[in-house]
Structure 1
Amino acid sequence: MDPDYLPFHLNPSKPAYVPPAGAVDAHCHVFGPAEVFPYHPKRKYTPCDAPKEKLFALRDFLGFERNVIVQASCHGNDNAALVDALQSAGELARGVAVVSPDVSDDDLKTMHQAGVRAVRFNFVKRLVDATPREVFIGIAERVKALGWHIVVYFEAPDLADLIPFLNSLDCTIVVDHMGRPDVANGVDHPDFQRFIDWMADNPNVWSKVSCPERLTLTPPDYSDVVPFAKALVERFPDRVLWGTDWPHPNM
C-alpha cells in the first residue's frame, strides 16, 4: 500500500436510509488480496487489499441486493480478482472488465460466463497510459457481439476531445462519476454543460451519480457535489445509476 493511501473504513456506521428492494450498488471494486491476485506492475497506485468478502459483507450491511464490480486500474487488464469475485457472487453480481486488444475469445467467454457485461475504457491521464482510439474501437467491436456495453472514465475537460470517438461507439455507454466535473466551477460551467448536452443528444449514454467523496471540496456533507447529481437526476431520471465506489481509491 502506498504510504499516503487512505484505507477504507473497517467499521462504518449503518445509515438511516434503507435502500428499496432490488437496489444495486452499481460501482464498486475488489482489490487483491495481493498475495493471491497481484497488482499490475505498471499501476499508478498501490491500494490496500479490499477482497470480495469485505465487499459482500458491505453489500449485506447496507441492504443492497446486488453489485456491479468494476475492474480498477491497479489490476490493469488482469481480471482474475474480478472474475473470482463474480464467480463467488453468482447472480448477485455483474462485472465490468478491462481487456487488451489481444484478449482471446476463450477469455472473453470465461468472463461472460462469470458475469462480465461491459468493458471499461479509462482516459484519466494520472491513472493510465494513453491507449490509441483505434485499439478501443477494435475492442468495442469484439465485445458488441457478446451484448456488452462500454463504461468510460474521463475528466470533464477532456470530454470535448472524446465526443467524436464516443459517438462512434454503437452501443450503450455508461459514464463513471458524472464525468468527473470540477465542482469548484459550478454546474453552469461549460465543461459540465457540455456533458449535459451530450447526454441529451445521445439517448444511449448513461451516467453514474457517484464519487462525491473524491469530487467534493467541502467534506463531509458533499454539498458542493449535490447540484451536479441533482442536475443529472432531474434531467435524465431513467439514465442514472448510483454506486458506493467502495473501497474509495485515491482519496
Structure 2
Amino acid sequence: MTRPCLPVPEHLTAPAFRAPAGACDSHAHVFGPYHRFPLADDRSYTPAAYPADAFVAHLDQLGLERGVLVTASASGTGVGNAVVLDALRKYPTRLRGIAVPAPDTTDKDLDAWHAAGVRGARFNLYQVDGHAVYRNGAGIDVLEAIAPRLRERGWHAQIWIHAPDLVEMGPRLKKLGIPLVVDHMGRMATTRGVNDPGFQALCALLAEGAAWTKISGADRLAPGAGTGATPYASVDPFATALLAANPDQVVWGSDWPHINYFDPAHMPDDGVLFNLLARWLPDAALRERVLVTNPARLYDF
C-alpha cells in the first residue's frame, strides 16, 4: 500500500500581482472522484481526490483563466486518462490536456483525445542515478513508436526527465522531429548549479527552438525553501537562464495539487509559487508572453 499524500493547504498567500487576461497554469493534475476514476493498483503515491471543479477553483484563486491538466502516473496509462478527459469536456474553453499513451493506444483513441482538448503526450524518463523514481507512465520506446502519430496531429511530447540525462538523451529526443516540452526546468536540484552540463543542454535546446520548458516545480528543485524574505531564491538563476535562452519557449505551471509530498515542511504554498513570477517576469510584456501568448500557441487555446 502506498503512503497517502499530504492535502493541499486550505489557505494560500495572496497573489502579489494581477495576472494578465488569458493567463494559464500550464501544469496541474486532477484525481477522482475515485468511484468513477480509480487510481492504478500499482502506483508510487496515493493523492486525495481533487476533481475538475477543485482545479478550476484553484485557477480562480490565482486569477488565472486557463489551465493544462497532465495525466499523473498514479492514474496509470490509457484508461487512466479518463479523469483528464472528463475535466476537458466539462470545461472546454478553459482547459487543455496532456495524456499518457499506452503501447496499444490506437489512432481512434488519439483522435478522440484531440477532440476533447488533448494537445500532447507525456513520457516518464525520470531517473536519478539510473533508477526510476515513479512507477507507471510511458517510456522512451512508446515515445519513439508513437512520435509519427503525434506529429500528424500537431502534438508535442512532454518529457519528465532529470536534466543531467539530457546530455545523453537530448540527441535521441531531437531525432523524433516533434516539439519537446521538458517538465519543471529539468527537475534538477539547485545544488548542481546552472553550469551543470545537463542544464546547459536544456538551455541549448530552448535556444535553438527544439524544446520548451516549464518554469515550474521550484519546490521540487529546492525542497523546503519556500519561506523567508526571498523564498526559493536558489531557483532564481535557473529560471533566469531559461528565459534568457529563449523566452518564446517557456511556460509556467503550479504543479497543483503537489502530489507525492509527505513532509509538511516541504509542502508548497501556491500563492508563494505564483508570486515567484514577480521576480522572474518583472515586466508586463514578458509576463504576457509566458503566461498568455506562449501557452496559447503551445496548447492551442
Using the size of structure 2 for normalisation, the TM-score is 0.78
- Residue 234, structure 1, aligned to residue 241, structure 2: no
- Tell me the secondary structure at the aligned position of residue 248 of structure 2: coil
Alignment match, 2:36: 36
Alignment match, 2:180: 173
- Tell me the secondary structure at the aligned position of residue 120 of structure 2: strand
Find 1:216's aligned residue among 216, 222, 243: 222
Alignment match, 1:188: 195
Alignment match, 1:52: 52
- Tell me the secondary structure at the aligned position of residue 90 of structure 1: coil
What is the Cα deviation at residue 105 of structure 1?
2.2
| CA shift in 2, pair 1:138/1:34, >3 Å | same
RMSD across aligned positions (CA) = 1.8
What is the Cα deviation at residue 7 of structure 1?
1.6
What is the Cα deviation at residue 186 of structure 1?
1.6
Amino acid at match of 2:89: Q
1:23-82 deviation digits (Å, cap 9, x = unpaired): 111111111222220001121111111111110011112111111111111111120000
What is the Cα deviation at residue 169 of structure 1?
1.3
Checking the alignment, whether the CA contact within 8 Å between 1:177 and 1:209 is kept in structure 2 is yes
- Tell me the secondary structure at the aligned position of residue 25 of structure 2: strand
Checking the alignment, whether the CA contact within 8 Å between 1:29 and 1:69 is kept in structure 2 is yes
| CA shift in 2, pair 1:132/1:175, >3 Å | closer
Alignment match, 2:276: none
Determine the C-alpha separation between the residues in 1 that align with 2:113 and 2:238: 34
Amino acid at match of 2:112: T
Whichever structure has more helix as a proportion of its residues is 2
Checking the alignment, whether the CA contact within 8 Å between 2:101 and 2:121 is kept in structure 1 is yes
1:82-103 deviation digits (Å, cap 9, x = unpaired): 0000001111111000011211
Determine the C-alpha separation between the residues in 2 that align with 1:130 and 1:164: 22
Q: How does 1:90-109 map to 2 (within 5 A)?
A: 90-109=92-111
- Tell me the secondary structure at the aligned position of residue 224 of structure 1: helix
Find 2:124's aligned residue among 117, 122, 128: 122
Amino acid at match of 1:192: F
Determine the C-alpha separation between the residues in 2 that align with 1:133 and 1:9: 35
Using the size of structure 1 for normalisation, the TM-score is 0.93
Q: Identify which of structures 1 and 2 has the higher relative contact order when contacts are C-alpha pairs closer than 8 Å and 6+ apart.
A: 2
What is the Cα deviation at residue 232 of structure 1?
0.8
5+ long unaligned stretches in structure 1: none
| CA shift in 2, pair 1:132/1:13, >3 Å | closer
Determine the C-alpha separation between the residues in 1 that align with 2:63 and 2:137: 38
- Residue 157, structure 1, aligned to residue 164, structure 2: yes
Determine the C-alpha separation between the residues in 2 that align with 1:15 and 1:83: 29
- Tell me the secondary structure at the aligned position of residue 233 of structure 2: coil
Percent of residue pairs identical: 42
Determine the C-alpha separation between the residues in 1 that align with 2:96 and 2:149: 19
Amino acid at match of 2:124: N
What is the Cα deviation at residue 165 of structure 1?
1.8
- Residue 143, structure 1, aligned to residue 150, structure 2: yes
Determine the C-alpha separation between the residues in 1 that align with 2:56 and 2:139: 36
- Tell me the secondary structure at the aligned position of residue 244 of structure 1: coil
Amino acid at match of 1:170: G
| CA shift in 2, pair 1:132/1:20, >3 Å | closer
